[in-house]
Amino acid sequence: MYKNEVDLKFPEGFLWGGATAANQIEGAWDEGGKGMTIEDCLPYREVGVSDFTKQFAFGLKDLKEALNADSNANYPKRRGIDFYHHYKEDIALFAEMGYKIFRMSISWARIFPDPRDEKPNEEGISFYVSVFEECKKYGIEPLVTLSHYDPPLVLATEYKGWYSREVIDLFMKYARVCYERFGKYVTYWLTFNEVDAMLRHPVTSGALIEENFIKWGIPFEEAVYQAMHHQMVASALAVKLGHEMMPKSRIGCMMTKLLFYPYTCRPEDNLAAQHRMRGIYRYVDIQVFGEYSRYLRKEISNKGFAIQEAPEDAGILKEGTVDFISFSYYMTSCMAADTTGLDMAPGNTVNGVKNPYLPSSEWGWQTDAAGLRYSLAELYDRYRKPLFIVENGLGARDVVAEDGHVHDPYRMEYLKEHVCAMSDAINIDGVDLIGYTWWGCIDLVSESTRQMSKRYGFIYVDVDDYGNGSFRRTKKDSFDYYKKVIASNGKDVHM
């Protein structure tokens, strides 16, 4: 249990809010002229709470099934929480909580149903303009991710996903339209969500279907590193273009902030943890410093891979460095040189050695507020750039009580501890932290399990894993709690 060491205090103008992603909330997958995405094709599977690898397994048979109009498979991302039709009500609730900022993403396939199209889909543009207008009405600043696990399906069917260099140009056409049409509403932008995630789930981040690569005779792991390179170039180009087109914009990267402690004080365990942690930073290093680290170059050459880089790439990476670093933080685990006989713990699409000192969520994620403070200090010392926590939260199996409400002290407890840790990171460790957006501020479809029953929200949405329910929104107890935290600028965390 983390207890703050000094009085709670946050800077004036600290950006409190909530976070979501288009593919997890919007629904309306075939409305408004939207094209199909990879996420629309991922079926729900009953594989238990922690086996994300089975959920992300996606082959050509799955693709065929998803394209079959008579399929009985369950595709939760297609319905999301129907934000597409409820956005006014939802944003009003965020405003009631006092949000200063709302993190959302734009669905590329809503803007370009087929990324090869010359002209954007005006209906998709109007939808986002209405969302931004709604935010503006309440003085809520949008924080927009250009790509949050939502590649248009065409990238996989007509290209080789992000392995194809042409995808960079398609992405830049999309980014340009977003800046042109939404730039007057949006100051804070993120390029790619959890940019390192392509190495863990290549299909949802990179539109890379392994079976295809086997067919094409292209070594898959090497293809993933190649696709990562293209995404790095696209991210840098998008930062540069954003700065040119919107001089007041602030454009950040977004990483999965994982933390692995050495399991024991054996030097070998410490080395194993250090190695793992250097891996966590290897792509953000490029986005911040504008070049590959020697560590990543070694990793690639030690694997015997040869990444194709265009002569202009080095310059592009140098010119497109980010203004701030944003990240998700949920859990931590440990590393050991030898894991024989040790219990493992699942986490945010990773597994690590279980830490005996930490409690776990119902999904086995080990919650660790002290680890957030540690991470903030570590990130700030490494990069010396403003930090923004754009995802943090607790997925739980909420129960609607007889009075019709969800009583969720566990969520308030989690929030409280993390607020205390942030305050100490700011006031003791000297970290420049500019904002905090709670992940899944309204219940949404889980990324790793595609469940609705893994709920993060302060707002309950009445829909289950199979799409049954009224989609009605109700406030949980944590709704008023977060409202109080925000109203006091983080000073009042009493439950």
Summary count for the chain: helices (H), strands (E): 18, 14
Cα 319 → chain centroid: 24
| 391 is annotated as an active-site residue | yes
Residues numbered 51 to 80 that lie near ligand BGP (CB under 6 A) are: none
The Cα 470–Cα 360 span in angstroms is 31
CB of 446 to ligand BGP, least distance (A): 3
Of residues 39, 378, 391, 447, which has the active-site annotation?
A: 391
Which residue, 225, 233, 160, 136, is CA-closest to 191?
A: 233
* DSSP three-state, residue 11: coil
Q: What are the DSSP calls for 365-407, one per residue? A: -B--HHHHHHHHHHHHHHH-S-EEEEE----B---B-TTS-B-
- The dihedral region occupied by 264, where left means phi > 0, alpha psi between -120 and 50, and beta the remainder, is beta
Considering only the stretches 198-206, 303-311, 415-423, 441-449, report the one whose residues sit in contact with ligand BGP under the rule CB under 6 A.
441-449
The Cα 43–Cα 66 span in angstroms is 8
By CB under 6 A, tell whether 439 contacts ligand BGP: yes
Among the listed residues 121, 212, 332, 446, the single contact to ligand BGP using CB under 6 A: 446
Among the listed residues 8, 15, 21, 156, the single contact to ligand BGP using CB under 6 A: 21
From residue 346 to residue 365, the character string flagging contacts with ligand BGP as x (rule: CB under 6 A) and all else as - is: --x-----------------
CB of 348 to ligand BGP, least distance (A): 5
Q: How many residues does the chain have?
A: 495
* DSSP three-state, residue 469: coil
Contact 395, 335 (CB under 8 A): no
CB of 19 to ligand BGP, least distance (A): 8
Among the listed residues 448, 459, 476, 478, the single contact to ligand BGP using CB under 6 A: 448
CB-wise, 236 or 255, nearer to ligand BGP?
255
By CB under 6 A, tell whether 395 contacts ligand BGP: yes
CB-wise, 197 or 300, nearer to ligand BGP?
197
Residues numbered 307 to 346 that lie near ligand BGP (CB under 6 A) are: 328
Which residue, 348, 332, 308, is CA-closest to 456?
A: 348
CB-wise, 354 or 454, nearer to ligand BGP?
454
Q: Would you state the structure tokens that stand for residue 53, as one six-digit string?
A: 């690898």
Among the listed residues 253, 447, 452, 460, the single contact to ligand BGP using CB under 6 A: 447
Among the listed residues 196, 391, 424, 443, the single contact to ligand BGP using CB under 6 A: 391
CB-wise, 125 or 251, nearer to ligand BGP?
251
Contact 388, 15 (CB under 8 A): yes
Residues numbered 256 to 295 that lie near ligand BGP (CB under 6 A) are: 256
Of residues 26, 39, 134, 194, which has the active-site annotation?
A: 194
Q: What are the DSSP calls for 226-293, one per residue? A: HHHHHHHHHHHHHHHHHHHH-TT-EEEEEEE---EEESSS-HHHHHHHHHHHHHHHHHHHHHHHSS--
| 65 is annotated as an active-site residue | no
By CB under 6 A, tell whether 457 contacts ligand BGP: no
Active site residues: 194, 391
- List of residues contacting ligand BGP (CB under 6 A): 21, 193-194, 256, 328, 348, 391, 395, 439, 446-449, 454
